[in-house]
Structure 1
Amino acid sequence: MTRIDSTTTDKATFTLTSTGATLLHAASDAAREWWRSAVIYQVYPRSFADSTGNGIGDIPGITSRLEHLTTLGVDAIWLSPFYRSPQADAGYDVADYRDVDPIFGTLSDFETLLERAHDVGLRVIVDLVPNHTSDDHDWFKAALAAGPDSPERARYLFREGQGENGDLPPNNWKSIFGGPAWTRVNERAAAATDGVTDSQWYLHMFDTTQPDLDWEHPEVRAEFEDVLRFWLDRGVDGFRIDVAHGMVKTPGLPDWDGEVSMVEGTTDEAHQPAEDGSTGAGNSGPMFDQEGVHEIYRAWHTVLAGYDGDRALVAEAWVEPLSRLARYVRSDEMHQAFNFSFLTTAWDAAALRSVVAASLRASDEVGAPTTWVLSNHDVVRHASRMGLSGGAVRPNGIGKTDPQPDAALGLRRARAATLQMLGLPGSAYVYQGEELGLPEHTDLDDDLRQDPAWWRSGYTEAGRDGCRVPLPWEADAPGYGFGPTGATWLPQPETYRASAADVQRSTDGSTFAMYRDALALRKEHDLGLGSLAWVDEVAASPNVLAFVNRDVLVLTSFAAEPFALPAGSQVLISSGPLVADGASGAVQVPQDTTVWVQL
């Protein structure tokens, strides 16, 4: 084990000697399934690349840009939903789980993408949305037509209303998008027939167009096991499960006075996570994290185990404490679970040290990898989120009239946070565009917003459109090369010019270059299956986070004064420029900078 001692000078200086940092997590050399260490790139299809010129990204567009991903060096891609859908919630309202929506292409296009991806060494994970369907799904249309107490309605959560005439919803639950979580059937013009009053309501934890399924119903369970097999038979490598903690509700659907929200998480920069790693990012209430979900995932694990190739299940589960999240990745359930406690932790050495330690302890208890993430299609991009002042760690979007991030500060911290994350043992996710240093689009006109959270929140939450803007590929092309006509389904800000992929790939020191080089070093040093040992001498420092993973020291400076490494240190990579101290020969690490040092 490498020991790193500190000596007291005018600047903190590390001296490398031969023994002892405190080991928290041992290397995982025996278990080498691909998902334990993979870096997985999230593709949001409508915003990745457009092949037709209609301004909406599609599957052939993804296929045409695979070289970008292989050059970057990721191991797999995760595709957000591309299924047939009315697109009321950008495809998370699925009408047919076994077909591709025409705006994205055809099933044949998907099979071509899958084959090409596999040919270049990329695995492919697809999104599955089992908590709810679209209201355009055949099952729900049949349920509306069939009426109360019908077998068709039993697949969903229809309930009688309260009050003398059933005019009140069955309980007081709120939608995650804002407003009530219930819609009365009579409010839908197609529902009332022959003048019969239908007093029933249906549950939708998201938009009214997304009715929740009843996972106690055997037909629902059988249907989704068949959907899994449909895509596994075509060769997909796994599934990311949307709202994985929300499919089972407490029996009786009791009232609950808490709040469900898409903006939970640390909101005070001085706040430290709890000892168990909790930041407030977990959803609570009788509609989340019920024991019955684990029975479902044990059955799904069995389905995947029947196929070769280490197929994987990935949980989108906003669950805390981390010991409860770890239950989703027990050996007979899922394989990965996004670490949203990590995502929502403030940029603070002590806070990050606490959440990393709690995460690894919880995952190690069940023999699973920790799955790190900083951005996705549901949160403000971390290049902007980390530039906010006042402690707004996870707002649900940033609008024109909201406090604006410091772009330079945000990107500097985002690069440091990413290099820190990629130095951790486990798997990691990269959201499309973060490798280009893309900021959130914070100047989007409100009348262009398409996220249902915008209007369901009473126009108080900007929503997720700002992180979903189409990617810039070519700085000097119309629409920055997103498609052949320059059309884009959401407008791109002028700031995207400097972040265009062709500029980033050709610029030394660019964010793309940092990601590419870090991913190569991560593989070279086998950090994904590596260890974590805290550097003893700075274990409680408010200004430095430092750990050793195999033969690499990962150090992040939070201090206002530069932090000096000893003369002769072999820096493998840094998130920003370093400064050489001419007098001592030491390399200085500025504030909000991460370095990897060869030991």
Structure 2
Amino acid sequence: MSEPSASSNDRLAHPYARPWWKDALVYQVYVRSFADSNGDGVGDLAGIRSRLGHIASLGVEAIWLNPCYPSPQHDHGYDVANYFDIHDEYGTLDDFDALLADARNLGIKILMDLVPSHCSIEHRWFIAALASDPNSPERARFYFRDGKGDAGNEPPNNWQSAFGGPAWTRLDADPTANNGKGGQWYLHTFAREQPDLDHTHTDVHQLFDEIFKFWFDRGVEGFRVDAVAGTGKHPDLPDQPPVGPEVGVLDITWMNEYTVFRPEGHDVWRRFRATIDNYESGHPGRELMMVAEAYAVRRPELVKAFTEPDQFHQMFSFDLMLTPWEKHSIEQAMLDPIAILAKTGVPPAWTLNNHDIQRIVTRLGRSDAHLPEIWTNNNLALSRADVDLALGERRARAMAALIFALPGSLYLYQGEELGLPEVFDIPADRREDPVFERTGGAEIGRDGCRVPMPWTNDASSSYGFSTPRADGTVGEPWLPQPTAWGERSVSEIDDIENSTLHMYQSLGEVRDEFAVSQPLEAQTIDIGPEVIAVRRGDLVVVVNPTDEPVQLDLDHRELAITQPVFASEPAEMHTTGVIPANSTIWFSS
């Protein structure tokens, strides 16, 4: 495939001019797993530069980089030690600037990942806090508290970590320390290596003002903001009310009303938005943005609160990512985001995959994926049902064809364009997700969706992930790849007609031509009891979520003057009105 030029990635002209981020196609790069340029087994910025042609071939307008700041990598970048530099395994600031310049030449913007709720135990502030006395200004930037019980031996409250185990870690158990209260405890909503920042502190305000300016000055166009639900705490830090035994260990935190979706968090987002708006006003021509990551599925009131005009520009809609493969569930997953768009003008940021959840090919391939009662916030991640990967890939293709048509922006996760499945057989001693360690292996964690990308069928180069060193050797990839990984590589499926890669490339083109050219609105319509249908302007998208072909009435008033223009199973696209099982067809006048 030839390298795309900047002009080949330009959006087709259409009458609905709007900020680029309102309906952008964005590609998420998990830096550590995308491409390794120096043979050490770890992805890096130079590796991304070498594969920009692949990203551009999908028609994307922006790349979102998972955290690539200096970090001890206890949570692979989400424990930030320095917000103003690049992690040495990934390169340097010069490498970042070169990536940004190359991307810009292809018409692609760069978004960074911002982690405001916590930093790393190796951040200079936390190191200073450890060296300071209780109640010192250095500790006031975090949540340090005396413990309860004799000599403070018990945590300050009963909060649990989102990764399992207590949300508090003690510094020093010496009972004579701190005037007999023992060593203080510090709060970490996630891993113990990720101390929570107290955003009521003016130093924290100033830090994030400086972070925005630093990266905007380099040319970054926006931020995906991590874990916004857990930013902000009840000032008294009271105990969480008891939860029932049916609540999973990883769900307890997200039911804690004193640390999740707090009003104090919205004060943080207002400050962030004011910083962005002030910067933008002084730099004409820039269209900056931030998008919120919070799992507020089926809670439209939360989405509205986060996307008030003085807060986030957009918020991720995980509804379709988490829905079972069933008509009513899929329709319901579209209704709230589309209704919010109609009322507020804020378009959703859709996605089907990311670095925190099992890949959709595996999830939709499970034998219980069609059952509405299995819906959870992890959508089948806890299911032990059998997986049919061929069926899962077909359903995932159909879901992608639906989501590409919807109003709003769309975030792809690296490898979904290859139809990659979740990898389960990672040896315990190779797993790196702190979820696995903190739950004693009871939860396998998120490593399975982070396995390095396969680019070729050459096992000696980690399936093209690593560029060999001068002596021809490559280091072992940081996570092991399956032996059949090369069969799903870019080079292998690029030669297969109607491959998932080809479908994604085509979807990028038809999205511009038939979807983005429509208004930012959509409605579900009724054209039959077995199918899902969505109208967006002149475009009608029909999904058959059943395991049998469905005959459509092409004389129906919604379809009468249309013709099929795209299908998730293109070999079966025709004008007889039969929509194949587990597939999607676009119709347009």
2:220 to 204, 226, 236: 236
Q: Distance in 2 between matches of 1:263 and 1:156?
A: 23
Mean Cα displacement is larger for which, 150-159 or 544-553? 544-553
Q: Distance in 2 between matches of 1:396 and 1:193?
A: 43
1:591 to 556, 574, 581: 581
Instruction: Indicate the residue corresponding to 2:273 in structure 1.
Output: 301
**SS at the partner of 2:319?**
helix
- Matched AA of 2:170: R
Instruction: Indicate the residue corresponding to 2:406 in structure 1.
Output: 424
Asked if residue 356 in structure 1 is aligned to residue 334 in structure 2, the reply is yes
Instruction: Indicate the residue corresponding to 2:4 in structure 1.
Output: none
Instruction: Indicate the residue corresponding to 1:555 in structure 2.
Output: 542
Change (3 A) 1:455 1:375: same
Asked if residue 482 in structure 1 is aligned to residue 465 in structure 2, the reply is yes
Change (3 A) 1:450 1:396: farther
Kindly report which structure 2 residues correspond to 1:162-561, keeping only aligned pairs within 5 A, or say none.
162-186=148-172, 198-256=182-240, 257-258=242-243, 285-305=257-277, 306-307=279-280, 308=283, 309-320=286-297, 321-390=299-368, 403-476=385-458, 478=460, 479-485=462-468, 486=474, 487-527=476-516, 529-538=519-528, 541=529, 543-561=530-548
Q: Distance in 2 between matches of 1:498 and 1:337?
A: 35
Superposed displacement of residue 418, structure 1: 0.8
Contact 1:554 1:596 in 2 (8 A): yes
Contact 1:131 1:213 in 2 (8 A): yes
Change (3 A) 1:580 1:507: closer
Where structure 2 has 5 or more consecutive residues not aligned to the other structure, the ranges are: 1-13, 469-473, 555-559
Contact 1:181 1:205 in 2 (8 A): yes
Change (3 A) 1:170 1:42: same
Superposed displacement of residue 476, structure 1: 3.0
Higher strand share: 1
RMSD: 2.8
Instruction: Indicate the residue corresponding to 1:152 in structure 2.
Output: 138
Instruction: Indicate the residue corresponding to 1:15 in structure 2.
Output: none
- Matched AA of 2:466: G
Q: Distance in 2 between matches of 1:62 and 1:146?
A: 41
**SS at the partner of 2:107?**
coil
Superposed displacement of residue 30, structure 1: 5.3
Change (3 A) 1:373 1:409: same
**SS at the partner of 2:223?**
strand
Contact 2:161 2:253 in 1 (8 A): no
Q: Distance in 1 between matches of 2:573 and 2:447?
A: 42
Mean Cα displacement is larger for which, 320-329 or 255-264? 255-264
Instruction: Indicate the residue corresponding to 1:25 in structure 2.
Output: none
- Matched AA of 2:438: R
Matched pairs, number: 549
Structure showing greater relative contact order (alpha-carbon pairs closer than 8 Å, 6 or more residues apart): 1
**SS at the partner of 2:484?**
helix
- Matched AA of 1:289: F
If the length of structure 2 is used for normalisation, what is the TM-score?
0.88
Contact 2:459 2:486 in 1 (8 A): no
Superposed displacement of residue 547, structure 1: 1.2
Change (3 A) 1:215 1:115: same
**SS at the partner of 1:554?**
strand
Instruction: Indicate the residue corresponding to 2:557 in structure 1.
Output: none
Contact 1:400 1:443 in 2 (8 A): no
If the length of structure 1 is used for normalisation, what is the TM-score?
0.86
- Matched AA of 1:518: L
Instruction: Indicate the residue corresponding to 1:576 in structure 2.
Output: 569
Superposed displacement of residue 519, structure 1: 1.0
| Identity level (%) | 40
Instruction: Indicate the residue corresponding to 1:90 in structure 2.
Output: 76
**SS at the partner of 1:97?**
coil
Q: Distance in 1 between matches of 2:72 and 2:330?
A: 40
Q: Distance in 1 between matches of 2:566 and 2:172?
A: 62
Q: Distance in 2 between matches of 1:340 and 1:74?
A: 20
Q: Distance in 1 between matches of 2:358 and 2:255?
A: 18
- Matched AA of 1:597: F
- Matched AA of 1:423: A
**SS at the partner of 1:226?**
helix
Asked if residue 136 in structure 1 is aligned to residue 112 in structure 2, the reply is no
- Matched AA of 2:225: I
Q: Deviations over 1:174-224 (max 9, x none)?
A: 00000000011116x9x9989987431100011000000111111111111
